Amino acid sequence: MGVWNARVRPVTLPPRNAHARPTSAMAAAFIALIALLVAPTTALAAPGGAGAGAGADGTVHGGLSRPDYSYANAIRESVWVDTGFDADSDGRTDRVAADIIRPREPARAGRKIPVIMDASPYFACCGRGNESQRKTYDAQGRPVQFPLFYDNYFVPRGYAVVLVDLAGTNRSDGCADVGGRYDVGSAKAVVDWLNGRATGYSERGGGKKVKAGWTNGKVGMIGKSWDGTIANAVASTGVRGLKTIVPISAISSWYDYYFQQGAALYDGGPQWLSDYVESADAKRKCAAVQQQIVDGSPRNGDWTSFWQERDYTAHADKVRASVLLVHGKQDLNVRTKHFGQWWDRLAANHVERGIRLSQTGHVDPFDFRRGTWVDTLHRWFDHYLLGVRNGVEREPMGSIERTPDHWADSAEWPAAATRTTTVRPRPGAVPGLGTLGLAPAGPGSTESFTDDPKIGEDGWSANVDRPTPAKAAFTTGVLKKDLRLNGSGSVTLTAASSTTSAHLSAVLVDLGPARIRDFAAAGEGIKTLTTKSCWGRSTKGDSACYKDTAADTAKVGYTVFSRGWADLGHYGSGKHGVRLTPGKAYRITVRLAATDHVVPAGHRLALIVAGTDAGLLEPADTKPTVTVYLARSFARLPLVGGSRNVPPSATSPAATGRPLHGLPGPVLKHPLPGSAFLG
């Protein structure tokens, strides 16, 4: 079975990664006794307890590093690394703060160790993880709390953990530039320092030069959201020493965070984010950089040099590191287009990689599949940073959550049997209700809709079998067997607008009852419990215990599982928009976000075409009626089994005026994500 095998292990032996879980005193003693009885003699090298007297080389047994080093006695220090930039124009090059925790025993013995690194703008302003942990320091400024479990779990196993404040945030100099050269360069500089190619200092201003003589230079970057984005970006520089990255819900091109094909997805712009995370010192010094951000990112959706600099997919051919990619299939903050286009470029360049897709929104795997995720991450880092031959690289490439807490492995991703298949919309007996199948529409066939910015995908889907003016819906017949879509698709539309501007939405909908993670709720598919579990070692100032979580589910009558948006005025190269000539037909291909979804037998597949997707897309400056020419429109979908699994088109059902199956969909309860921070 794969890395993400969800089966329960036998309980007669301790877990192979020795997770520390809350137990009663009797249960804890029993587990300790069993561990002593079954442990091989090599694991008994630390008779005074884990870490006390541990050998310099630590213990690797059963393909896993063991917690042989003391967390309480670990070295905790801060180093400021020279970036070579003077973004804040104060006359000296900017230094970024790297807070480090590493086991003391290897340092004494002269053994070199690898690094797990998280570079983030959030360590002071907002915190990391489900409990929003921040860095803390003692009275002398020495680091005390390292957010998240990476330090608690991996330092005892022979790793250093380095948490970097991106330029302009927390204790770093410089200016935040939202994925630009200062952001990326500040993180890359630390990788360079760890490999002896940059200069570090003991103080933010002045101090002694500090070398990272304790590390072997092997670095694995990890992080969620902006942090994971920086991991992608640094990997795209091809920097030597970066051996693996684990981007979680990460951006691959910043343009696609704010726009899709010219259509604005967020209010405000990147200057809002930089202002949100910058330190007070940076706010005083970085007005010029802030203005450059404003000038480079106009809200017209055009592709500028600002966005070009922040498109990491363009440099995927430089990636040397392996990639373990994690994303929520219903992430409406960093949408799944990001992982899809990044994955495709990595695949084209034969990068060693794995992928994990949940039913959640913008959620860390520690909070939707905790035990399995820690086990997977442990084995992944052991292999790529310690060189342990544990076979993780040969296990199934993908693991996908099909229903809440039920996962399926995929030997390859997309699946080997996936074929890009052309399906076509046709008119039905009732205007606005068409069919979807393999046969093309007849010449002159059209469907029309009028943009209503107050209605979005939930309103369209709930009324999929009812003619409404704001959408055109096309449905297949009832499926006789499961239909799996995995990968990225597209919808090509030939359309004319009644006004000089028009936005288009195309969504794929699974029509049928299901229980799903409630990604539209506040927890985006999880609920936080009052109990805690512990993952590693603790100190008074840094606990390894975190609140448990569980799936937050909802019964629904339909599920929107892939989305695409575009401004029709960007029909050409997509780099610059134009005003439309009313009544003139234009052809545009709307790129759908990547997904892996199974439409079960007994359900139907729908393609809905409409205007503004309320709550997710900013409306155009007009409210056009859009006519779609069906004979010159089609969708190309990544179907496992290809066209043979597409059912014959069926006549659209008569209008009922009732919600599908009597169940609503997951109605979005949060505002447009631009009003919240990325993390």
Active site members: 225, 331, 362
Could you identify the residue written with the tokens 């890359």? 188
Is the CB of residue 216 less than 8 Å from the CB of residue 193? no
Q: Which pair of tokens denotes residue 450? A: 């009028």
Output DSSP code: residue 313. G
Strands 471-475 and 604-610: antiparallel
Annotate 417-442 with b (16+ C-beta within 10 A) or e (fewer): ebeebebbbbbbeeebbbbbbeebbe
Is the CB of residue 231 less than 8 Å from the CB of residue 247? yes
CA 31, 33, 39, 44 dihedral sign is positive
Closest CA to 353 of 389, 326, 313, 374: 326
Distance, CA of 97 to chain centre: 25
Percent helix, strand and coil across the chain, each to the nearest 5: 25, 30, 45
Give the side-chain half-sphere CA count within 13 A for 152: 24
Q: What is the distance between the terminal CA atoms of the chain, rounded to a whole angstrom? A: 33
Is the CB of residue 634 less than 8 Å from the CB of residue 495? no
* Maximal C-alpha separation, the chain: 83
Could you identify the residue written with the tokens 């505002």? 671
Output DSSP code: residue 341. H
Closest CA to 165 of 196, 194, 123: 123
Annotate 15-42 with b (16+ C-beta within 10 A) or e (fewer): eebbbbeeeeeeeeeebeeeeeeeeeee
What is the C-alpha separation between 450 and 624, in angstroms, rounded?
6
Looking at the DSSP assignment, which residues form a beta bridge with residue 472? 609
Helices (H), strands (E): how many in the chain? 13, 33
What is the C-alpha separation between 622 and 633, in angstroms, rounded?
23
Closest CA to 347 of 496, 444, 171, 488: 488
SS3 (DSSP) at 267? coil
| Residue 586 Cα distances to 19, 118, 495, 624, 635, angstroms | 58, 45, 5, 14, 16
- HEC string of 493-517? EEEEECCCCCEEEEEEEEEEEEEEE
Is the CB of residue 615 less than 8 Å from the CB of residue 455? no
Closest CA to 114 of 106, 125, 122, 126: 106
What is the C-alpha separation between 200 and 245, in angstroms, rounded?
23
What is the C-alpha separation between 35 and 50, in angstroms, rounded?
13
Q: Which pair of tokens denotes residue 593? A: 């976000």
What is the C-alpha separation between 607 and 489, in angstroms, rounded?
12
